[in-house]
Amino acid sequence: MSKVWMITGAGRGMGLDFAKAVLASGDKLVATGRNPERVAEAIGQSENLLVVTLDITKPADADSALKAALKRFGRIDVLVNNAASFYAGYFEELTPEQMDLQLTSGLIGPMSVTRAVLPVMRSQGSGKIVSISSTASLVGFEFCSAYAASKFALDGWMESLQREVAPFGIETMIVNPGFFRTELLTDDSTQYAPSSIGDYDERRAQHFAFWKSANGQQPGDPAKLAQALIALVNLPELPRRFIAGADAVGMIEQKLALVQQQIDAHRQLSSSLTFEA
């Protein structure tokens, strides 16, 4: 039986590759985005496709999108929390408003969409929730403090959510991609902190140059990630986490080795903190 997918941010970047792969597999798709006309134009026509408006920063949009999806297809089997934004810059220079926007798009938005979908999945007794996170949810990067904060929080929420919803037959998976050749680093998707503190000038210029030059040169192929996502969702059991890309594997292995090194270095002190009756 074909699955019904719901993908946020399906009109561009990685979400568009996901959408095309789902339809090519023969499954049904609820493709969402802030501009439904743009989403429909990007994906093309299909009898298995429903395009609906969904700005993940507006909880009411999630509720109305879900109602439209159920009216058309009757169920939701797979939710992919894909839509996000990127606010880059040093923490001291990022405005409170930019930090709020990053957390809203990267954490609160996926929460709102998931909150809308969970009652349906509970009533079905099944469902899969996939959240597209980042290597920056496991490894902190200079100039990415806002983005990393939203992604670290996303991972913690998803890990905890799995324990809460597993008794209802609902599974979750965190996807931690490395650098993939999407539109995330374009001027339409990346917002930078205002340059306001002279002490950061030299390093800021270096990071500006890096991020600008990285756009269009990322090693990961989002079309291949889309195929991997289809394969993982079709497994008998959904993995709890998928590290996507050789660069991501390398960085996270380094992080795990460092954590283990720090555990070993202070194991005796850590183990001496038991309350003595």
Q: Which residues are catalytic?
A: 133, 147, 151
Residue 104, CA distances (Å) to 14, 99, 108, 109, 219 in order? 20, 8, 5, 6, 28
The token pair that represents 156 in the structure block: 């913690």
The token pair that represents 19 in the structure block: 């959408």
Q: Tell me the C-alpha distance between 24 and 53, whole Å.
A: 22
The radius of gyration computed from the CA coordinates of the chain, to the nearest angstrom, equals: 20
The token pair that represents 1 in the structure block: 């039986």
Residue 61, CA distances (Å) to 57, 116, 196 in order? 8, 10, 36
Q: Are 88 and 187 in contact (CB under 8 A)?
A: no
The token pair that represents 112 in the structure block: 């709102």
Q: Coil, strand, or helix at residue 204?
A: helix
Q: Tell me the C-alpha distance between 137 and 140, whole Å.
A: 7
Q: Are 172 and 117 in contact (CB under 8 A)?
A: no
CB-based contacts of 42, cutoff 8 Å, min separation 6: 11, 12, 16
CB-based contacts of 140, cutoff 8 Å, min separation 6: 148
